[in-house]
Amino acid sequence: MAENALKTTNGNQAHGETTRGGHFFTPRVDIYETDEELTLVADVPGVTAEDVDLRFERGELILQGRVKPRQRPGLALLSEYEEGDFYRVFQIHESIDSTRIGAECKNGELIVHLPKAEAAKPRQVQVRAN
């Protein structure tokens, strides 16, 4: 199950954290599971692939990057769109094949594919009659 394969190290924190020498906000993430992989979808509107640093180190998937400030005409009456640096870390279970992790950035979402190792995939066991 997904909760055994991927865990966030900062819980369900919705606001920024003030560690690592600065202020970081936490992008919202959805995680989906199929028989083949886990798919992590991070909400990062306005971010391009060049703005994202995604690394796998010592069993952790580290997602960080920067949302560049947007220039809009007029006075902002409401501003909920976060700008600046973002940071999120997930612990990756050994059932994920870290050599095949891939990602794409499109339509304001960062989509990370975490393929399951062959040994972790469900398989049908044949039952023989005597």
Q: Which tens digits make up the pLDDT trace of 111-123?
A: 999 999 887 777 7
The pLDDT, as a whole number, for residue 2 is 46
Mean pLDDT, all residues of the chain: 82
Residue 21: pLDDT band by 50, 70, 90 thresholds?
A: low
31 belongs to a structural domain: yes
pLDDT digits (tens, 9 = 90+) for 74-130: 888 888 777 889 999 999 988 999 999 999 999 889 999 999 988 777 778 888 888
- E strand map for the chain: 6-8, 29-33, 37-43, 52-57, 60-67, 84-92, 102-106, 109-115
Percentage of the chain beyond pLDDT 90 is 42
The verdict on residue 33 lying in a domain is yes
- Judge whether residue 29 has pLDDT over 60: yes
Contact 27, 88 (CB under 8 A): yes
Specify if 126 maps to a domain: no
Provide the whole-model pTM: 0.74
**What pairs with residue 1 in β-bridges?**
none
Domain span at residue 19? 2-70+81-120
| Both tokens assigned to 75 | 């006075």
The answer to whether position 45 is within a domain reads yes
* Residue 54: CATH number of its domain: 2.60.40.790
Provide CB contacts within 8 A for 70, sequence distance 6+.
46, 81, 83
Asked whether residue 57 is domain-assigned, the answer is yes
Note whether residue 129 is domain-resident. no
Query: Is residue 114 situated within a structural domain?
Result: yes
State yes or no: pLDDT of 11 exceeds 80: no
In a domain, 76, yes or no: no
Per the structure, the count of domains in the chain is 1
